[in-house]
């Protein structure tokens, strides 16, 4: 090998220049650098990216490509099974080394292992930690096993987590002299055409300007300077901008958890004890993300099967009409329907509302958590295999550190508690905007005169509840008792 043999940097869930260990390693070598992104729908199988994430990917790759060009390089786009494509490319260009940042999905681990084995003895292959603060095998219980309860896991993390400062972006890259031809981004047809359902995504994320590394950094700075001072309480109120909304940026690696960690710690160090407490609460959510990725690493069946094996026998229902009503935001429960319409419009949903809509699906409607997981997978711009699976298993009472199945969220009380003035409901359900606060979370309880005054006819302008809360709750408890084989007393 000579100094002219290029290094391939295989971009995956790390679409950024700063704090990118694989890219920094290649840039520091002094050799030509060939940045590559492979659209791999083959290896991902059933977990190929959903429609909303493909929309996001299109814009993220546009930003990454432009940023690399400013450094003197160009992003090569290829398509196919990632390990096969990268091995073939490395041989064609006589690569000195192939580098990437690690992913933790089961298919990614198998794919990357195949590539390392294929290149062994011929071309050097190196992988780096970039997407997590701690590797899944670095934080284990005293017995050497994976944690399945979050609080002791996070306590253990805090005892060992001292992230190094984020790496700066390279100042320049030496381009690969014999760069092969690749695809154009338009070849991949990641954006919808007919029908074009992405108008809401374009409005929400500034027509793609709100995507990418620069947007992620700007969003973090805005949150720390404006939204973080009341985070612990504000994060539960969907009608305000009380969360960081960094989840899609973290999923695509447009910002690293190490960057978030240090920015939050620095902001807290300059502020009051109260603000520091808010930052601790915020970083706890970064910890939950780490916890989910650890679960997926140690329990790779998590997206398909419950971690609590007794739930394999749960008597789930099959009801296409109820599932459709839930997906379309037509359940008759305003807090549920507002969340589902926010999801369809923006590709994102407030975390508190994610729990409420999930509870209705798996408990009131007795539909399997996998049905909710699959819908989120296709419609969320932050669809992350670890977070999505762990979150739905938590909701379904069958996962790690899960809420007991027999605790059934009351969608009326949840709306009244977390959206007391109906701001969130009115934003996403304009047909209810004239309904008084007293009835905004239970329109069917409003007197006929009030409904007429608000311009609402139930069943025409807004549906009646798809199921009565008390009936749905009891049905869930009965199903849980049937699974256990004995009666269950609720809390």
Q: What residues are labeled active site?
A: 285, 288, 316, 351, 369, 392
Q: Which of 42, 8, 12 is nearest to 26 (CA)?
A: 8
CB-based contacts of 70: which residues, under 8 Å, 6+ apart? none
Phi, psi of 87 (to 5 degrees): -60, -45
Closest CA to 245 of 189, 206, 302, 194: 206
Distance between CA 42 and CA 374 in Å, rounded? 18
Give the list of residues 6+ apart from residue 144 with CB closer than 8 angstroms, or none.
none
Whole-number Å distance between alpha carbons of 258 and 136: 15
Residue 381 phi, psi dihedral angles, 5° rounding = -75, -15
Pick from 311, 325, 323, 354: which is nearest to 479 by CA?
A: 311
Element (H, E) at 37: strand 33-39
Task: Round to whole Å and give the CA distance between 275 and 272.
Answer: 5
The answer for residues whose C-beta is within 8 angstroms of residue 23's C-beta and 6 or more apart is: 9, 17, 33, 35, 170
């Amino acid at each position: 090998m000579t100094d002219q043999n290029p290094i391939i940097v295989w971009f995956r869930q790390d679409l950024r220049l700063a704090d990118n260990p694989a890219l920094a390693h290649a840039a520091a070598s002094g050799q030509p650098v060939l940045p590559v992104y492979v659209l791999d729908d083959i290896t991902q199988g059933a977990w190929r990216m959903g429609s909303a994430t493909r929309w996001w990917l299109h814009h993220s790759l546009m930003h990454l490509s432009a940023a690399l060009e400013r450094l003197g390089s160009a992003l090569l786009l290829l398509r196919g099974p990632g390990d096969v494509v990268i091995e073939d490319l490395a041989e064609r260009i006589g690569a000195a080394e192939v580098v990437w940042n690690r992913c933790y999905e089961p298919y990614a681990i198998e794919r990357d292992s195949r590539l390392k084995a294929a290149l062994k003895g011929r071309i050097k292959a190196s992988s780096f930690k970039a997407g997590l603060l701690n590797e899944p095998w670095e934080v284990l219980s005293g017995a050497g096993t994976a944690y399945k309860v979050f609080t002791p896991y996070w306590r253990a993390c805090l005892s060992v987590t001292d992230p190094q400062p984020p790496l700066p972006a390279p100042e320049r890259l030496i381009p690969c002299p014999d760069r092969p031809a690749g695809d154009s981004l338009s070849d991949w047809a990641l954006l919808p055409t007919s029908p074009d359902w992405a108008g809401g995504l374009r409005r929400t994320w500034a027509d793609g300007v709100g995507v990418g590394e620069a947007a992620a950094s700007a969003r973090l700075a805005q949150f720390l300077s404006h939204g973080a001072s009341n985070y612990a309480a504000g994060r539960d109120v969907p009608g305000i901008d009380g969360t960081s909304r960094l989840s899609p940026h973290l999923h695509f690696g447009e910002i690293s958890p190490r960057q978030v960690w240090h920015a939050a710690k620095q902001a807290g160090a300059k502020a009051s004890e109260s603000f520091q407490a808010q930052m601790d609460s915020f970083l706890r959510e970064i910890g939950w993300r780490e916890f989910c990725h650890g679960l997926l690493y140690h329990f790779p069946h998590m997206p398909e099967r419950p971690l609590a094996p007794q739930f394999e026998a749960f008597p789930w229902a099959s009801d296409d009409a109820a599932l459709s009503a839930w997906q379309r935001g037509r359940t008759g429960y305003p807090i549920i329907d507002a969340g589902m319409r926010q999801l369809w419009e923006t590709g994102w949903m407030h975390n508190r509302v994610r729990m409420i809509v999930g509870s209705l699906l798996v408990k009131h409607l007795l539909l399997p958590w996998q049905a909710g997981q699959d819908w989120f997978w296709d419609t969320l711009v932050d669809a992350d295999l670890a977070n999505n699976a762990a979150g739905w298993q938590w909701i379904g009472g069958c996962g790690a550190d899960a809420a007991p199945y027999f605790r059934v969220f009351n969608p009326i009380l949840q709306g009244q508690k977390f959206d007391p003035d109906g701001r969130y409901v009115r934003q996403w359900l304009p047909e209810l905007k004239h309904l008084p606060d007293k009835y905004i979370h239970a329109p069917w309880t409003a007197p006929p005169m009030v409904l007429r005054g608000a311009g609402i006819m139930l069943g025409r302008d807004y549906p009646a509840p798809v199921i009565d809360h008390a009936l749905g709750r009891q049905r869930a408890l009965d199903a849980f008792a049937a699974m256990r084989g004995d009666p269950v007393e609720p809390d």
